[in-house]
Chain A
């Protein structure tokens, strides 16, 4: 098989894993959400790369163009982007409230406070 044609995907997978790592390894609640953002955005990149057709055009019907990239992944990812920002917004709202209630947004300190009482 042709390694080069998969190289693109693998880079994207590296991106996904970097984001995923931030989510699970960091203790700061805001940073976790940033990682989640990166993770999701990278998944979007994977989808969109898979929909690309070499020498294709953007899926807007134009005279004289016959090869278009696949529009369906674009539609799905539009929805997924919206879902992503919705999740981020709710997560951030929770973080703001957690800060008001605990005075910190570090996971370890929150755990300490919870165990103390």
Chain B
């Protein structure tokens, strides 16, 4: 019973975080902020939801698979965000705060 409510709570929290992440993803002004919004909330939200599912399951094999997904996402999510930010930087995209002239970069790689 406790497990059930715990898992429900995780789901709720995870869903809420997902929504905030999406909001940031849609509304934030430049790519780095958006990566931040997605990357950070996403890792936590994903973990929460997967943990919730983990609590729901009884058999061993699904649990192992969920654990595998969880670990994988915890590794790959931040790495992907990092790689993306770095690639964007190398591609010549600059944060908005440092330049007033919008987010269109001068580099040809911008689009």
Q: Do chains A and B touch in the complex (CB under 8 A)?
A: no
